[in-house]
């Protein structure tokens, strides 16, 4: 399949789907990432043949040879986005084209074949269409979509693989915050870094997350919810959290977020927040923020709010910061007004309750 060709999906309905009663019980409290729908998407790639054998089929284990290249050299990338039920009963996705573009960029960085964006978005539509009944109806719930691709060739040589498997699975997700949005506490890692210049920090690959787990475990041991990474060169400047981007809100209403520069994942929610904050009248800057300035500005009151943002938690207030030598609060540890206003605006757009001036919402059904 060449870049502009359309790939047709063969639909193979699951012969034994979950019953309506069992599905309703699962959807009552799905949590996150533990309940899965009846179907999955698979598309194969082979060097010289291109993309082929596109299917929507029953979700099932993936047969894998012990010598599959991904198990040895970690050629793997993924994405994450959500499908929502809106007030009028329709189903939408938020910025799937942006996820498709980032998937291409991640593939390019890991020397993998580039899935055409049209095929990426179409694969999401096909899965949502067949598993529509798995989308929770209650407020703040959604259907989390996980597209991913890995090197499936059976080969142990150190080179880009010649065969790949692209898949999409879906998982009903409840409210990220049980009982409402609450500020999180973060741990500033003194020893671990997430990514270095020239590395894979801007790619959404599994290796980045595997490398963050020791630091995340350190954060949990310190009584924190998330880890914050500093830059790998000077160990001075804030990069991002383990799975989210970060914003700083100052007393004059200015928002600052660290610049991308190849070491930070270009978050799709991050990009939306930049746009919405500017439209709300805030000055928005992408510039380095040192941990020393974070501390001093919080102490002086110049820094009023800090929040993280990402697909799962949308916009999350950060109330406390811990590090080996101490800890401090931001804004008294309470959610800030700017943070919550941006969160509400974004949620309202995603769920069709506010005007979508940027064409971010894609209708599925």
Q: Name the pairing type of β-strands 50-58 and 76-78.
A: unpaired
State the average pLDDT over residues 14-40. Answer: 96
| Spatial separation of the C-alpha atoms in residues 306 and 59, rounded to whole Å | 40
Which pLDDT band holds residue 66 (cuts at 50, 70, 90)? very high
pLDDT confidence of 181, banded at 50, 70, 90?
confident
Residue entry with tokens 């929610």: 269
**pTM score, whole prediction:** 0.96
Residue 310 clears pLDDT 80, i.e. is over it: yes
Mean pLDDT, all residues of the chain: 95
One of 6, 82, 182, 204 is an active-site residue; which one?
A: 204
Strands (E), 1-112: 10-11, 39-46, 50-58, 76-78, 81-85, 91-94
**Is 182 a catalytic site residue?**
no
Which residues, 6+ apart, have CB-to-CB distance to 269 below 8 Å?
Answer: 245, 309, 310, 311, 314, 315, 346
Domains of the chain: 10-173 (3.30.470.10), 184-351 (3.20.10.10)
């Amino acid at each position: 399949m060449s870049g502009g060709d359309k790939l047709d999906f063969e639909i193979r309905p699951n012969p034994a789907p979950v019953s309506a009663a069992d599905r309703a019980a699962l959807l009552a409290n799905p949590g996150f990432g533990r309940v899965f729908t009846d179907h999955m998407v698979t598309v194969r790639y082979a060097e010289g043949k291109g993309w082929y054998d596109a299917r929507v089929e029953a979700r099932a284990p993936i047969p894998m040879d012990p010598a599959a290249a991904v198990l040895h050299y970690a050629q793997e990338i993924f994405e994450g986005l959500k499908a929502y039920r809106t007030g009028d009963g329709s189903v939408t996705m938020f910025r799937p084209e942006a996820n498709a573009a980032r998937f291409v960029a991640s593939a390019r960085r890991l020397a993998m074949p580039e899935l055409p964006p049209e095929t990426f978005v179409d694969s999401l539509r096909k899965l949502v269409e067949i598993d529509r009944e798995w989308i929770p109806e209650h407020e703040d719930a959604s259907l989390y979509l996980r597209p991913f691709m890995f090197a499936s060739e059976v080969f142990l040589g150190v080179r880009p693989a010649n065969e790949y498997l692209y898949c999409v699975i879906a998982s009903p997700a409840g409210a990220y915050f049980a009982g409402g949005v609450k500020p999180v506490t973060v741990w500033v890692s003194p020893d671990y870094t997430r990514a270095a210049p020239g590395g894979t920090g801007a790619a959404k690959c599994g290796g980045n997350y595997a490398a963050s787990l020791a630091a995340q475990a350190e954060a949990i041991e310190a009584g924190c919810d998330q880890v914050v990474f500093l830059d790998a060169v000077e160990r001075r400047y804030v990069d991002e959290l383990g799975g989210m981007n970060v914003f700083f809100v100052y007393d004059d209403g200015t928002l600052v977020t660290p610049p991308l520069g190849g070491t930070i994942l270009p978050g799709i929610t991050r990009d939306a927040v930049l746009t919405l904050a500017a439209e709300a009248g805030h000055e928005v800057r992408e510039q380095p923020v040192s941990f020393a300035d974070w501390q001093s500005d919080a102490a002086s009151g110049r820094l009023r709010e800090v929040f993280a943002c990402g697909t799962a938690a949308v916009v999350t207030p950060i109330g406390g910061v811990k590090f080996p030598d101490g800890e401090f609060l931001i804004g008294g540890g309470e959610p800030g007004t700017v943070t919550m206003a941006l969160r509400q605006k974004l949620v309202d757009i995603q769920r069709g309750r506010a005007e979508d001036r940027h064409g971010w919402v894609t209708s599925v059904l």
